[in-house]
Structure 1
Amino acid sequence: MSVKKVLVIRFRRIGDAVLSVVICSSIRKSFPEAEIHYVLNDHIAPLFENHPDIDKIITFSDEENNHFFKYLRKVRQLMKTERYDVIIDTRATIKTLWFSAFSLRTKYRIGTSKFYNHFFHNYRVRNHVNDDLDEVMRNLLLLQPLEREGTLVMTTDFRLYVTDQETTEFRKYMEQKGINLSRFIVVCTPFTRVARKAWDMAKMKEILSRIIQRYDAQLIFNYSREEKAAALALYEEMGEDEHIFIDIEADSLRKLVSMLQTADFFFGNEGGPRHIAQACHLPGLAIYPPWVELPRWLPSNDLRYQSVSPFDMFSGQVTEGRTEKEVFDLLTVEYVWERLQPMMDEAFIRKAKL
């Protein structure tokens, strides 16, 4: 049997979907003739349009996901219409098992090993046993059963794509908002959707001020609708500095990709935008709260993409007995700046040579 049609299932958030695209890219390299379909939540699907390693995007809306019979009907119709040779269920939840349940003739029904998926997945991969593996490598382990069909060519490089026209239009928009494209541009995420994941704002403010002072940098605050009030408050606290651009809105994920492809550096709290930045090959430093597993959520040993966490400063013994917030507060301005400055110096010099 040759691999002709593959379904990759990856519901959840932006970062999860971005890190899982390596499955599609590795299948493309391993089986160039295969048709690859990617199942996603509809609000993040535009991020993967025009991706050379995805032939078809299949979306589910919140309404479909939240109404069991609508969801079931759509999954059943999909599996009845399409004849997949391979199903890769990246999470193997009770809900995603229905894709395999409606396609039991599919030769390769692959899922991460769970105690309840014996019947539905005939290839169950224990890809969460090794805590040292990052999320990209865990995803790639799901391809192991396909070694029976040919030599696997793996790639850990996850990429996102927008058209040249999209990038050109967004660059023009940035210029209209006052950005000088010949000067150093830093996309900043001082805010997070989950408040407890954000580093202390006073410390963040100090780092941003140092970036402006040292590099004469243009800082673009990237924030969601829910974070707008916090963004405006920080902007006012920093004296409405002309180096800060608070009104450059990437009101779609594709525009965010265009923004990140135009920028020179990324700095801020860990989250979906950080993964998108790495997928755009934008160097950066992200601040990780102490409860986020590292290196799981910072794939790649490439020094262009780095993290900083309280555990970089202190061992587990020092942090023992403290609350999560107390541990997070141990992360100092000086330590973050010590990590950030060499990276930003390199990016600044690279920009100057262009």
Structure 2
Amino acid sequence: MKKQVNFMRIAIVRLSALGDIINSALILQFIKDAYPEAKIEWICEEGFAPIIMNHPLLQEVHTVSIKRAKKTKSLGLLLKTISKLRSLGKFDIIIDLQGLLKSAIVSRLIGKNVYGFDKDSIREGLASKLYSSHAHIAYEENSIWRTIVLVSQALNIDITKEMLAHKKPSLFYTKDDNISKSIFSSTQKNIGFVVGASWPSKTYPREHFVSLAKTLDANIILIWGSANEKEDALFIEANTKNTQLASKLSLVQLTALIDNLDLLIGNDTGPTHIAWAMNKNSITLFGPTPASKMMWQGPKHIAIESDSQVNPLKLNRSDMSIKNISFESIAIKAKELLS
């Protein structure tokens, strides 16, 4: 450890998206180890706040309504958000993990001592002009490691890959968020399928999920969020004998559900990344997005990629290659993780 400055109040800016907030939450344990007396506060979009609201290492979670203000074209809501950010008080350091112009503006509204990526490390290079200090790491590098490097340099602490390999769970829930035990089997392994994703091209075909379910001797719980995802889950349930739909869950309830699974299998999407954050066995399926950038693999966390040659700097939303991943290859890895 090489810390010199004693940061007492630290702001973490990661506004969105769900998966990125989930993957970034692990830094809190390393910051708190280095600065046990520090007050750490997180700034994010209101819709994603519940996923980290229960984190014991966070002093407070501050929400912004930028997305809602944009959707409703509400200048009043935007001005209210700006006023809220300006009233948060003095921070010793503000770290912008997101590297977008909007997150950089949010950071500067909070204070002047802002640490972020340099112009060659982010898509929106203009954002770097709003930072007082910079870190350089190539944009195509693993997103979790980019976060680690940025925080390490900002706070002058060592966070090694060995520490990352032995991280503690980084999401939390209360007993009130626990899921009814009736959905789980006491005699079979419990596996979750995350059937949806933000892009159609990131979504493994429901017919393939049916074939996969039929090869697994397990109680399979189908996790869904939107109406379209529920429709896919119902199709899978109707064509298999060992699957059942989860109910509509909050983000915190979803965390509780995943924490009680033996294995989670899903697309490259926020709910699937919860398993990584909770140190639960997981298999993540990749088509148009690069596993090397989007997840941190290890003995319990496996990526299965399509044969597509993905350019991290220019993703192709029309790349439907995820359908070429064989259900047999997933089943083999699932059985290995469960053995």
Shorter-chain TM band:
0.7 to 0.9
Q: Which residue of 1 aligns with 2:224?
A: 223
How far apart are 1:119 and its partner, in Å?
4.2
**Alpha-carbon distance in 1 for matches of 2:273, 2:279:** 10
State the TM-score, normalized to the length of structure 2: 0.83
Compared CA separation, residues 100 and 331, structure 1 to 2 (3 A): closer
Q: Which residue of 2 aligns with 1:128?
A: 138
Compared CA separation, residues 306 and 98, structure 1 to 2 (3 A): same
**Alpha-carbon distance in 2 for matches of 1:281, 1:228:** 26
Q: Which residue of 2 aligns with 1:232?
A: 234
One-letter code of the match for 2:256? S
Is 1:116 equivalent to 2:126 in the alignment?
yes
**Alpha-carbon distance in 2 for matches of 1:342, 1:267:** 13
Q: Which residue of 2 aligns with 1:45?
A: 49
**Alpha-carbon distance in 2 for matches of 1:65, 1:125:** 30
Is 1:160 equivalent to 2:158 in the alignment?
no
One-letter code of the match for 2:50? P
Indicate the SS of the match to 1:83. coil
- The equivalent position to 2:303 in structure 1, one of 307, 329, 340, is 307
Per-residue deviation, residues 102-141 of structure 1 (Å, max 9, x unmatched):
355x4x3111223324542111222334x3x321110111
Q: Which residue of 2 aligns with 1:84?
A: 91
Unaligned runs of 5+ residues in structure 1 are: 317-322, 347-354
Per-residue deviation, residues 229-262 of structure 1 (Å, max 9, x unmatched):
2221222233xx2x2212x315211111111111
**Percent pairwise identity:** 16
One-letter code of the match for 2:292? P
**Alpha-carbon distance in 2 for matches of 1:288, 1:264:** 21
Compared CA separation, residues 144 and 184, structure 1 to 2 (3 A): closer
**Contact conserved, 1:22 with 1:139, CA < 8 A, in 2?**
no
**Contact conserved, 1:134 with 1:299, CA < 8 A, in 2?**
yes
One-letter code of the match for 2:282? G
Per-residue deviation, residues 255-278 of structure 1 (Å, max 9, x unmatched):
111111111111132211111111
Is 1:340 equivalent to 2:334 in the alignment?
yes
Q: Which residue of 1 aligns with 2:313?
A: none
Compared CA separation, residues 36 and 202, structure 1 to 2 (3 A): same
**Contact conserved, 2:224 with 2:230, CA < 8 A, in 1?**
yes
Compared CA separation, residues 103 and 55, structure 1 to 2 (3 A): closer
**Contact conserved, 1:110 with 1:123, CA < 8 A, in 2?**
yes
**Alpha-carbon distance in 2 for matches of 1:303, 1:264:** 14
How far apart are 1:97 and its partner, in Å?
2.6
State the TM-score, normalized to the length of structure 1: 0.80
Indicate the SS of the match to 1:254. helix
**Alpha-carbon distance in 2 for matches of 1:8, 1:307:** 28
1:23-42 alignment, distance < 5 Å: 23-42=27-46
One-letter code of the match for 2:221? I
**Alpha-carbon distance in 1 for matches of 2:198, 2:108:** 35
Compared CA separation, residues 128 and 193, structure 1 to 2 (3 A): same
Compared CA separation, residues 73 and 112, structure 1 to 2 (3 A): farther
Indicate the SS of the match to 1:58. strand
Indicate the SS of the match to 1:102. helix
* Total equivalences in the alignment: 314
**Alpha-carbon distance in 2 for matches of 1:275, 1:285:** 10
**Alpha-carbon distance in 1 for matches of 2:222, 2:159:** 39
Indicate the SS of the match to 2:137. coil
One-letter code of the match for 1:181? S
One-letter code of the match for 2:118? S
Per-residue deviation, residues 18-46 of structure 1 (Å, max 9, x unmatched):
11113333221211111111011212211
**Alpha-carbon distance in 2 for matches of 1:59, 1:103:** 13
One-letter code of the match for 1:222? I
**Contact conserved, 2:7 with 2:92, CA < 8 A, in 1?**
yes
**Contact conserved, 1:80 with 1:102, CA < 8 A, in 2?**
no
Q: Which residue of 2 aligns with 1:138?
A: 146
**Alpha-carbon distance in 2 for matches of 1:198, 1:102:** 38
- Structure number with larger C-alpha Rg: 1
Q: Which residue of 1 aligns with 2:295?
A: 298
**Alpha-carbon distance in 1 for matches of 2:149, 2:75:** 30
Per-residue deviation, residues 58-101 of structure 1 (Å, max 9, x unmatched):
11234345545633442344334410110111123222233343
Is 1:244 equivalent to 2:267 in the alignment?
no
